[in-house]
Structure 1
Amino acid sequence: MSILLVCLILFLLVIGVPVGFALWLSGLAFVLATGATSLTQVAQSIYSSLDSFVLLAVPFFILAGNIMLRSGFAKHLFAFMQSLVGGVPGGASIGATGASAIFGAMTGSSVASAAALGRTMIPTMEALGYPRRYTAGLMAAGGTLGILIPPSVAMVIFAELSQQSVKSLFLAGVVPGLISATAIGIVAFTIAFRHGYGTRTEAFSPHAVWQTFVKAGPALGMPAIVLGGIYLGYTTPTEAAALSVVYGLFIGMFVYRSIGISDLPQIFLDSARGTGSILFILSGALFIGMLATLVGIPQSIVELITAYNLSPIGFLLLANVMLIALGCFLDGFTLLTVVAPLLLPTVAALGIHPIHFAIVLVLNIEIAAVTPPIGLNLFVITGISGTSMKDVAIGVAPFVAALVAVLLLLTFTPYLSLLLL
């Protein structure tokens, strides 16, 4: 029966049925065909799982991300980072990476980060002598930092699926996020230096740094307020998410004045659509997870791993290979909500720390966002940059290699993920 359920899901995904509908249609067909449980029990179980204070953070973070997308935060952040390193040939690539990391700490979303930063940085860096293919690849890779550097929507979802602390997951993402940003920055600067990109520079100016810092200051305050409130114990993650919405609206409407009352309906509508899509997929994933448990899929995986006597590291390496392969054809959110719950019992059986597994999983989701043919960031940057998907995929390839190297580093060194816990 378990093979029937898996094959049905894969068939619907392959023929192009949207993920949420594929999960629900597969689950309902399976229940009606096998009588594994009752539809009443399904409704009660899904409702109780989604009736969660933690999950309230998701719509707030999505709304905050859309507000910042419209408010011009990215433009001011890049200008500030550019003033710090723009005097160095190739330095704008470091500035772009730094802006990606900071913006990722505001939005919690890979796609939102790539979209906001790409619109600002691609034309600006092209004017400074950086080829569009290179900049498009850098922006696609930089956008992935939004789902690792806290706050992160992906980590909120994982917390609900695994019953882990959101605060602990956010803390665990800090060091790996900085390592990933450093790796992307080093690769970006190395390529730019070797090929002579960005030779048109302006001399370093303390005055320019101060001017751009003053303009970027309100944007820089966002992660400080949100994450500071969580880590210092003043707010829960959900309360911090709501605070980020209020702060973002205030800055966008009264400081930068880039958002007006007339913009709010569209911002709220886009956020509602994004939230509805995520929660619909999550509900389908919870449904499939319940059925998978009933038919013994997690137990079968545990028995298979036990039979081959895999070590914790061996299992994580095998999981990485599987997740990277699946990430070429499934989006990261599907990996998070469908595949991860099936692996969690094995993680527990092998004594792997669930927080360490979460970081490894999120890094795989990062890689999935920039690997063709389904990488969402590739589609976003292709539309923004006006280049072809092939050019973006070629441009992002060195950064994918950097992310894989970081994945291996963090797989073998759980200490880096658990350092701040």
Structure 2
Amino acid sequence: MVAAVLFLSLAVFLILNVPVGIAIGLASVAAIVTGGGLSMGYVAQTLVSSTDSFPIMAIPLFILAGDLMGAGGVSRRILDVANVFFGRITGGLAIVTVVVCMFFAAVSGSGPATVAAVGSMVVPTMLRAGYSKSFTLALIATAGSIGVIIPPSIPMVIFGVSTGQSISDLFLAGFGPGLLIGLGLITYCYLHSKKMGWAGDGVPYSNSRAFSAIWDAKWALLNPFIILGGIYSGVFTPTEAAAVAAVYAFVCGVFIHRELSPKDLFKVVAGSCSTTGTTMVILGCASAFARILTVEQVPGMVADALVQLSSNPILILLIINILLMLVGCVMDTTPAILVLAPILFPVATAVGVDPIHFGIIMVVNLAIGFITPPLGINLFVATRVGNASLSTVVRGIVPFVLVMVAMLLMITYIPGISLGLKQLITN
């Protein structure tokens, strides 16, 4: 009864367009009133206790780091380097966009931040080069979703905190899937561009040009090596790495590149604070939601029901994938992980799925949710960047969704894509 009230009230609040975090909190209160087993102050207590966590501190710091890098000239310099090597290929600008998004993902941890930072530079250039608007905006929205797959990744931090898994192991497992998805998108961009006759920029490669671009971008290129190298060498934790990333981005933008004025810095910090505040409210309310589910033993009941339905991990993972893709259409990544991870995690582990592998499956599924209407946030960011209607982006998104789904199935049923790097290091 309590679980039914929890989910039905959540659905009603979302239909009424109540902000996601508030809707989750109100649904939790409705369940508490119905059940009577918890006090009314439980949601408020959980809102504070769940966010009072050292690993959770990584989230606002990675958000700030990503915003500082976007405004401080990091993404533009990475774009120049990628253009030297890939710009002359058929569909060169499209390929460059994917490569830059992959690299920016290694320093931002956020899908929408990647879309905003890279899209503001590449979209006008691609449109001037003759690429269609629907293809261009759909591409940047999709490539931006890699921002939550290649580490560092904010959703991986949330999954790790929610399920008690190692955030460093999740980061390590994200490299293979992120590179696979990037290669899949590059392949599609090349084939589609060849079909449409979108040639490269025609500028021949030269060592001097490459050296000049790399030298100008040296501080930007060094960033992910500092962050990820520090984590895996044991110099600092993922949370401390987020702080290092934010300080490094500040130093690059203000003192090295000198593209962050005090006025710009204020806007960046204000935007990061706004994003962080929204995220933390969602996180706190969703933690209360998840704990009520645990008290009502919903995760165990769902796990038993699915295992009784089938003990075949192939079928169970297929069902989970379909469920997560549907949820991704109507719910943002953070609340989806916080609500569904406690339910689906026992199901996956019960059929023998590695916990880290399942975390990657969940993150990739919800990354697809970034580009599926009606709630695909990357679609809305792309429309703002390209000054276009949502229908323009949606017209070009279908092939990219199919590519992402194909990559998801490979990641789901070939665990080595996620776990191979960890096994290689440990052996």
Question: Is the shorter-chain TM-score for this pair beyond 0.5, marking a shared fold?
Answer: yes
Preserved CA contact (<8 Å) 2:90 2:190: no
Q: Which amino acid aligns with 2:281?
A: F
Residue of structure 1 equivalent to 2:360: 359
Counterpart of 1:124?
Answer: 125
Structure 1 SS opposite 2:203: coil
* TM-score normalised by the chain length of structure 2: 0.95
Q: Residue type of the partner of 2:93? A: A
C-alpha RMSD over aligned residues:
1.5
Shift of 1:306: 2.5
Distance in 2 between residues matched to 1:354 and 1:50, nearest whole Å:
23
Instruction: Provide the rounded CA distance (Å) in 1 between the counterparts of 2:305 and 2:339.
Output: 19
Find the counterpart in structure 1 of residue 329 from structure 2: 328
The range that moved more, 27-36 or 44-53, is: 44-53
Q: Is the 8 A contact 1:356 1:417 kept in 2?
A: yes
Matched-pair contact (CA < 8 Å) for 2:93–2:200: no
* Alignment partner, residue 50 of structure 1: 51
The answer on whether the counterparts of 1:128 and 1:199 sit within 8 Å (CA) in structure 2 is no
1:27 aligned partner:
28
**Post-superposition shift, 1:42?**
4.8
Render the CA deviation track for 1:208-256: whole Å, top value 9, x for unaligned.
2122111222111111100010011111111111001111011101121
SS in 1 for 2:37: coil
Could you tell which deviates more after superposition, 184-193 or 333-342?
333-342
Residue 231 (structure 1) aligns with: 232
**TM-score, length-normalised on structure 1?**
0.96
Kindly tell me the number of residue pairs found equivalent between the two proteins: 421
Q: Does the Cα contact within 8 Å between 1:89 and 1:201 map onto a contact in 2?
A: no
**In the alignment, what sits opposite 1:169?**
170
- Residues 143 and 182 in structure 2, CA contact (< 8 A), matched pair in contact too: yes
Deviation at 1:3, TM superposition (A): 1.3
Provide structure 1 residue ranges, at least 5 long, that are not aligned to the other structure. Answer: none
Please give the alpha-carbon distance, in whole angstroms, between the structure 2 residues aligned to 1:299 and 1:125.
50
Following TM superposition, the consecutive aligned residue runs of length 4 or more in structure 1 with deviations greater than 6 angstroms are none
Paired with 1:45 and 1:122, the residues of 2 have a C-alpha distance of 42
Structure 1 contact 129–198 (Cα < 8 Å) conserved: no
For 1:271, give the aligned amino acid. Answer: S
Rounded Cα–Cα distance in structure 1 between residues aligned with 2:335 and 2:402:
22
More deviation in 202-211 or 168-177?
202-211
The DSSP-based 3-state class of the residue aligned with 1:74 is helix
Partner of 2:283: 282
Alpha-carbon offset, residue 61 of structure 1: 0.4
Q: In 1, Cα distance between the equivalents of 2:387 and 2:48?
A: 43
Counterpart position of 1:244? 245
Displacement after TM superposition at 1:190 (Å): 1.0
Per-residue CA deviation, residues 343-390 of structure 1 (Å, 9 max, x unaligned), is 122223223211111111111111100011211111111111122212
Could you tell me how far 1:4 is from its partner in structure 2? 1.7
Match of 2:153 in 1: 152
Within 2, Cα distance between the matches of 1:278 and 1:40?
A: 21
Please name the residue that 1:260 is paired with. Answer: 261
- 1:105 deviates by 0.7
Q: What letter matches 2:161 in structure 1?
A: E
Amino acid at match of 2:20: V
Contact 1:298/1:343 (CA < 8 Å) preserved in 2?
A: yes
Please list, as runs of the form range in 1=range in 2, the aligned pairs for 1:83-232 lying within 5 A after superposition: 83-232=84-233
